[in-house]
A and B are shown apart, each in its own frame.
Chain A
Amino acid sequence: MIHSLFIINPSGDVFMEKHWKSVISRSVCDYFFDHQRKASSPEDIPPVIATPHHYLISVYRSSMFFVAVCTTEVAPLFVVEFLHRVVDTFEDYFSECTESIIKEHYVVVYELLDEMLDNGFPLATESNILKELIKPPNILRTIANTVTGKSNVSSTLPSGQLSNIPWRRTGVKYTNNEAYFDMIEEVDAIIDKSGSTVCAEIQGYIDCCIKLSGMPDLSLSFVNPRLFDDVSFHPCVRFKRWESERVLSFIPPDGNFRLMSYHIGSQSIVAIPVYVRHSLCLRESGSGGRLDITLGPKQTLGRTIENVVLEIPMPKSVLNCGLVTNQGKYTFDPVSKLLVWEVGRIDVTKLPNIRGTISLQSGSPPVEANPSINVS
């Protein structure tokens, strides 16, 4: 299965490598660099690269490439999914996953990789189990370790791996038992020039932070479960119970995890909370282009809309933007040509607006169409 893993930073240095079977020279990454050079952006690198003897399967997360090397047939999604799980675990351990963090904690990283994969096959990937095997670093423990000379490798056996509930360790105890549920819903919509919705869908997640003692068995029911078009669950959820009663019944892992994600598709009507009135013209002549965008609320059921961010990927010929906003701040990155306007809260009485001029590179070919606008 997975033979080796190389972690590559944006400048193209292999700063960590790990081999689970025999050692593969890092020169195999040259094939990857070839593709990297060809691709215009990191996202454009194909996730699977076939080389004469190896197959490179890579994911791009937090501006690092995780390149797994395989030699034989393997389900590519298997590897991709595993690499993402590795990054998730790092994020879980170090709260963020950057190059410097990985370099700083290389020992923990190496131990983690060693536990997660045996001979190229995943061994323990549940963070509850891993945390028992290898304690996540924190400042307090680091100090304690240096004083007492203790290690951050646990000497006790991971009971969860062996129990019937592989995602939860036994003997959890809290003085305050509490459980938090976050519901996150994302509306994805494609809206055409005239403002009518081409397609819209909702993607929702339920993230939990559960701090309960013992082996709690929870059940969660919904007022209207029929709304869900499609759902996916954490392995702790009992499929059968959901199928028969539409009740989520589960023994949660300890700590943070994503309980379920659901999808409400294009069949049901999706209300879009904001509308955008825009006028944007980019011309070659004289002062360049003009931009005028107004945002407004729409079908919000009386709620205020907060944290609105507007992103416009500008065409290559745009040099700079001189804009004035009546609310929020805007930034324009001349390298990526991305205009970001952080609006914040939408006030119904005074609709946020951004207007101004855009300077274009002289001599560049005129832009045919207006760029699309992403609102989030």
Chain B
Amino acid sequence: MLDSNKDNLKLEAMKRIIGMVAKGREASDLFPAVVKNVVSKNIEVKKLVYVYLVRYAEEQQDLALLSISTFQRALKDPNQLIRASALRVLSSIRVTMIVPIVMLAIKDAAADMSPYVRKTAAHAIPKLYSLDQDQKEELIQVLEKLLYDKTTLVVGSAVMAFEEVCPERIDLIHKNFRKLCSLLVDVDEWGQVVIINMLTRYARSQFTDPNLQDVDEDEESKRPFYEDENEVDEEQQEKRAPTLDPDHRLLLRSAKPLLQSRNAAVVLSVAQLYHHTAPRSEVHQVAKAMIRLLRSHREVQDIVLTSIAATATRRKVMFEPFLKSFFVRSSDATHIKLLKLEILTSLATESSVGIILRELQTYVAAHDPPFVAAAIQAIGRCASNIKEVTDTCLNGLVSLLSNKDQAVVAESVVVIKKLLQTQPSAHREIIIQMAKLVDSVTVPQARASILWLLGEYSERVPKIAPDVLRKMAKTFTSEEDIVKLQVMTLAVKLCLTNPKQTKLLCQYVLQLAKYDQNYDLRDRARFLRHIIFPADAESGGPTRLSKQAKKIFLAPKPAPVPESHFKDREQFQLGSLSHYINTKANGYQELPPFPLEAPDPKARDVETEPQVMEQAPLFTAKKVSSKKDSKFYSDTESPEDESEEDENSSDEDDDDDEEEEDSSSDKDEEEDDNEDEESSGLEEKLPKKVVKSNAKPKSDEEEEEDESDEDDSSSESVSDSDSEDESSEPSSVPKKQTRNAKPAKESTPVVKPKSNLDLLLDLDDVSPAFTPIMTPSLGGFLTPMSTPSSQVKTQLFPDIQV
């Protein structure tokens, strides 16, 4: 079918082949037949051939070379989409022979005038790098050029390539740092993640530790009350603020709005940026956004909770106000429940432990065994961390001992054992109660714990302990290994404290153990026997060891300190894969420690300082109205500026005064627009309702638009655009026929459907000249920066006009 002349048949054949590829079946023997079709005129066939080529070119290198010339031709195609896709496929073909060709193509594409093609070039760099590492130097040169790019579309990919090819060349970032910060909000979500992660590393290597001055305040952060912490920090902040490098501040400030991104990955990367580089007083800002992520998908929850758990061990106060968000829902998956428990226990303080314990009590009654076990352990951790509640917890746990569920009892036994170790004083009743349980509990771990407890505190229950040992000796052979070991320990300990009653029993137990199947047990038995009954081996009185036996076996043991197992994760960058799996992943970049001396901040100053510095605000300052304006001009983009979004008219006037003569028409129009915006900026009042359990569709809320206003504005604008001398496109798409259903709009109906860039591209299609026409206005149109408006003074750049 592939040899047929008809496109339909070819297409059908290709679809089937792709189907095979998708299912993972081998389709490589069709390669020669498929590769012929790379010249096909039909775009869909072509596309599918590309997909196939990328998949199998590696296996059929020689044949794949046949297709290369087609790509080379396509790289010169006037249509940027075709150029881009040719480059994509060309660079995806992993054939070493074509490296020079790809290199050339990347270089060309990096200078292409279409940002889309440049983006593809950025993508191609790591591909080529993985194919041939020798090209690194040359690639870095190209990359450097791409990093200078000011298009939001390109920078994200460029930084991604930078991370993959040469993450150690941090010097390449210096000159782009400020630009990256200012463009950050407008880069696509995925680029944002990569850029923020990279800038975190950059900040760690270039700025001094903002928390350096208050190292001695580490204790402060452990102080229980949130308010205290805040006050301290506010005082601190005053002192500290000036010490923060202005660029460091810029980075934090430009990342902050991204906490409101819909993309969880972006939010978490901002969170880690703050966690690793921000002054302590500012870190808590990210908590709220992280809590919000907990409403997302299960997988997102899991990863965010892991990050929170790690953060919470160090920054308790940060998440304390959100304690209730970590309460477990019955619908949560088990691993999420466990993480939440972990966080709850880490967050417990004297003031909040009451609520937490009450919750934990409920959890113990749940139907999820691992979760119940974790809940009981959590109670234990609360009890040992916060002294005030230890007794209450212990009582609660003891009451759990009468629970009907074996697992619950066993778990509580183990936890009680740990707790008793911390304060063995006067808990005789509990020990007695536990001793009684030996008959009923079957879980080996719990039995072992009880036996250990009895041995350790046998002097408190002198009557019971030997009795238990007697029972255990009887059933010794049928116990689990772990229990057997504890039986021996108990026997030895009793033998030392109460030899009269238990010496024979002890000998019996050791004898049994001597013939056990498990070699650990046999070893242990032999070892114990030689210490306690040295006479067996040699005659000649007690040896030195046996004299010390009491000291050896009955030495006071340190109580275990239950710790969060998230404590050791600090070494990894928050939110990274290594952090999640708690081992170093392949290609993980260590976060460098803050330098003691900040490297020269001048490195970030760009030679063309005034221009770049002023351009950055320019991008962001152009907002709503300039966006509209741009549609009235064609390819000549006059980047006249406007003040902030919330412009007041006086500002506006100033701007315009400064403007050059030739843009006076622009000015008029601009003002019109602004007026329109103010007058007809339609506001839809959405009544906020606090409680609504079901969705309530609200439709057509925007009917109340004042029609006459709309007409006025559009007619005005039409005349405006007519008056424009160079407007190459008939811009006034009559909007009036849609009068009855006027949406919430300003004067935008008059815009022509094509943006200036498209016009550019259209021109380009006519003559594919590779002139570097760069529209400086491409960048951050939409979202404004957090630069204070005072800084965004008006700058005019008539010289940038193309």
Residues of chain B with a CB closer than 8 A to A341's CB: none
* CB-based contact A222/B330 at 8 Å: no
Residues of chain A with a CB closer than 8 A to B91's CB: 119
Residues of chain A with a CB closer than 8 A to B696's CB: 182-183
Q: Which of B174-194 contact A (CB under 8 A)?
A: 185, 188-190, 193
Report the separation of the CA atoms of residues A119 and B87 in the bound assembly, to the nearest whole angstrom.
12
- Known A-B contacts A78-B190, A149-B7, A244-B646; A48 and B783 likewise in contact (beta carbons under 8 Å): no
How distant is B101 from chain A, measured CB to nearest CB, in Å?
A: 18
Residues of chain B with a CB closer than 8 A to A227's CB: 688, 690
* CB-based contact A233/B583 at 8 Å: no
* CB-based contact A55/B577 at 8 Å: yes
Question: Could you give, for residues 281-307 of chain A, a 1 whenever the CB lies within 8 Å of some chain B CB and a 0 otherwise?
Answer: 000000000000000000111010111
Partner of A119, one of B23, B126, B325: B126
Instruction: Knowing that A119-B127, A123-B123, A273-B692 touch, tell me 15 more A-B residue pairs with CB under 8 angstroms.
Output: A60-B299, A73-B576, A78-B190, A80-B303, A118-B88, A118-B120, A149-B6, A159-B754, A162-B80, A181-B701, A185-B691, A213-B733, A220-B686, A244-B646, A245-B646
Residues of chain A with a CB closer than 8 A to B267's CB: 232
- Known A-B contacts A75-B197, A151-B11; A175 and B686 likewise in contact (beta carbons under 8 Å): no
* CB-based contact A368/B575 at 8 Å: no
Q: Which of A104-140 contact B (CB under 8 A)?
A: 106-107, 109-111, 114, 118-119, 121-123, 125
- Known A-B contacts A217-B624, A251-B782; A306 and B58 likewise in contact (beta carbons under 8 Å): no
How distant is B529 from chain A, measured CB to nearest CB, in Å?
A: 42
Residues of chain A with a CB closer than 8 A to B758's CB: 159, 162-163, 170
* CB-based contact B782/A238 at 8 Å: yes
> Is B69 in the interface zone, CB < 8 Å from A?
no
Query: 16 interchain pairs (CB within 8 A)?
Result: A43-B334, A47-B302, A48-B581, A50-B583, A106-B18, A149-B6, A166-B153, A171-B753, A181-B686, A213-B733, A220-B686, A223-B687, A233-B262, A241-B646, A268-B690, A316-B367
Report the separation of the CA atoms of residues A26 and B784 in the bound assembly, to the nearest whole angstrom.
46
> Is A41 in the interface zone, CB < 8 Å from B?
yes
Question: Could you give, for residues 269-285 of chain A, a 1 whenever the CB lies within 8 Å of some chain B CB and a 0 otherwise?
Answer: 01111100000000000
In order of increasing CB-CB distance, the 6 nearest A-B pairs are: A240-B784, A151-B44, A369-B365, A72-B587, A239-B257, A43-B333
- Known A-B contacts A170-B758, A199-B324; A18 and B22 likewise in contact (beta carbons under 8 Å): yes
| Closest A residue, CB atoms, query B295 | A203
* CB-based contact A82/B367 at 8 Å: no
Partner of A249, one of B19, B624, B761: B624
Question: Could you give, for residues 84-95 of chain B, a 1 whenever the CB lies within 8 Å of some chain A CB and a 0 otherwise?
Answer: 000010011010
* CB-based contact A81/B263 at 8 Å: yes
How distant is B611 from chain A, measured CB to nearest CB, in Å?
A: 21
- Known A-B contacts A239-B784, A240-B645; A110 and B22 likewise in contact (beta carbons under 8 Å): yes
Partner of A222, one of B295, B299, B359, B688: B688
> Is B530 in the interface zone, CB < 8 Å from A?
no
Report the separation of the CA atoms of residues A61 and B299 in the bound assembly, to the nearest whole angstrom.
10
> Is B526 in the interface zone, CB < 8 Å from A?
no
> Is A40 in the interface zone, CB < 8 Å from B?
yes
- Known A-B contacts A106-B18, A161-B116; A75 and B682 likewise in contact (beta carbons under 8 Å): no
- Known A-B contacts A76-B577, A368-B404; A202 and B690 likewise in contact (beta carbons under 8 Å): yes
* CB-based contact B126/A180 at 8 Å: no
> Is A95 in the interface zone, CB < 8 Å from B?
no
- Known A-B contacts A149-B8, A220-B686; A47 and B367 likewise in contact (beta carbons under 8 Å): no
Partner of A372, one of B330, B578, B738: B330
Q: Which of A214-241 contact B (CB under 8 A)?
A: 214-224, 227, 229-241
Residues of chain A with a CB closer than 8 A to B197's CB: 75
> Is A256 in the interface zone, CB < 8 Å from B?
no
| Closest A residue, CB atoms, query B302 | A47
* CB-based contact B683/A221 at 8 Å: yes
How distant is B270 from chain A, measured CB to nearest CB, in Å?
A: 12
* CB-based contact A181/B698 at 8 Å: yes
Report the separation of the CA atoms of residues A71 and B755 in the bound assembly, to the nearest whole angstrom.
41
- Known A-B contacts A158-B81, A165-B781; A239 and B298 likewise in contact (beta carbons under 8 Å): no
| Closest A residue, CB atoms, query B267 | A232
Question: Could you give, for residues 750-771 of chain B, a 1 whenever the CB lies within 8 Å of some chain A CB and a 0 otherwise?
Answer: 0101110110010000000000
| Closest A residue, CB atoms, query B333 | A43
Report the separation of the CA atoms of residues A239 and B115 in the bound assembly, to the nearest whole angstrom.
25
> Is A365 in the interface zone, CB < 8 Å from B?
yes
Residues of chain A with a CB closer than 8 A to B581's CB: 48, 50, 55
Question: Could you give, for residues 317-359 of chain B, a 1 whenever the CB lies within 8 Å of some chain A CB and a 0 otherwise?
Answer: 0000010110101110111000000000000000000000001
* CB-based contact B587/A301 at 8 Å: no
> Is A33 in the interface zone, CB < 8 Å from B?
no
* CB-based contact B691/A60 at 8 Å: no
Of B216-224, B655-663, B740-748, the one with at least 4 CB within 8 A of chain A: B740-748
Residues of chain B with a CB closer than 8 A to A21's CB: 130
| Closest A residue, CB atoms, query B161 | A121
* CB-based contact B738/A213 at 8 Å: yes
- Known A-B contacts A48-B580, A118-B120, A177-B743; A192 and B362 likewise in contact (beta carbons under 8 Å): yes
Residues of chain B with a CB closer than 8 A to A365's CB: 404-405
Q: Which of A4-56 contact B (CB under 8 A)?
A: 14-19, 21-23, 26, 40-41, 43-44, 46-48, 50, 55
Q: Which of A176-198 contact B (CB under 8 A)?
A: 176-188, 190, 192, 198
Residue from B267, B365, B405 with most neighbouring chain A CB atoms (10 Å): B365
- Known A-B contacts A119-B123, A166-B153, A222-B686; A106 and B81 likewise in contact (beta carbons under 8 Å): no
Residues of chain B with a CB closer than 8 A to A358's CB: none
Question: Could you give, for residues 110-154 of chain B, a 1 whenever the CB lies within 8 Å of some chain A CB and a 0 otherwise?
Answer: 000011100110011011001000000000000000000000110
- Known A-B contacts A84-B297, A119-B123; A221 and B690 likewise in contact (beta carbons under 8 Å): no
* CB-based contact B123/A118 at 8 Å: yes
Report the separation of the CA atoms of residues A174 and B749 in the bound assembly, to the nearest whole angstrom.
12
Of A258-266, A322-330, A347-355, the one with at least 4 CB within 8 A of chain B: A258-266
Report the separation of the CA atoms of residues A184 and B698 in the bound assembly, to the nearest whole angstrom.
10
* CB-based contact B589/A73 at 8 Å: yes
- Known A-B contacts A73-B578, A119-B92, A199-B324; A157 and B81 likewise in contact (beta carbons under 8 Å): yes
* CB-based contact B693/A198 at 8 Å: no
- Known A-B contacts A177-B742, A180-B697, A239-B260; A162 and B190 likewise in contact (beta carbons under 8 Å): no
Residues of chain B with a CB closer than 8 A to A46's CB: 302, 335
* CB-based contact A15/B23 at 8 Å: yes
Residues of chain B with a CB closer than 8 A to A23's CB: 55, 58
* CB-based contact B576/A219 at 8 Å: no
Question: Could you give, for residues 158-171 of chain B, a 1 whenever the CB lies within 8 Å of some chain A CB and a 0 otherwise?
Answer: 00100000000000
Partner of A164, one of B114, B589, B686, B781: B781
> Is A59 in the interface zone, CB < 8 Å from B?
yes
Report the separation of the CA atoms of residues A233 and B699 in the bound assembly, to the nearest whole angstrom.
21
Residue from A77, A123, A222 with most neighbouring chain B CB atoms (10 Å): A77
Residues of chain A with a CB closer than 8 A to B378's CB: none
> Is B214 in the interface zone, CB < 8 Å from A?
no
Partner of A230, one of B189, B292, B682: B292
Residue from B123, B152, B324, B367 with most neighbouring chain A CB atoms (10 Å): B367
- Known A-B contacts A222-B686, A365-B405; A374 and B330 likewise in contact (beta carbons under 8 Å): yes
Residue from B153, B329, B365, B690 with most neighbouring chain A CB atoms (10 Å): B690
Residues of chain A with a CB closer than 8 A to B365's CB: 368-369
* CB-based contact A73/B585 at 8 Å: yes
How distant is B468 from chain A, measured CB to nearest CB, in Å?
A: 26
> Is B289 in the interface zone, CB < 8 Å from A?
yes
Q: Which of B445-487 contact A (CB under 8 A)?
A: none
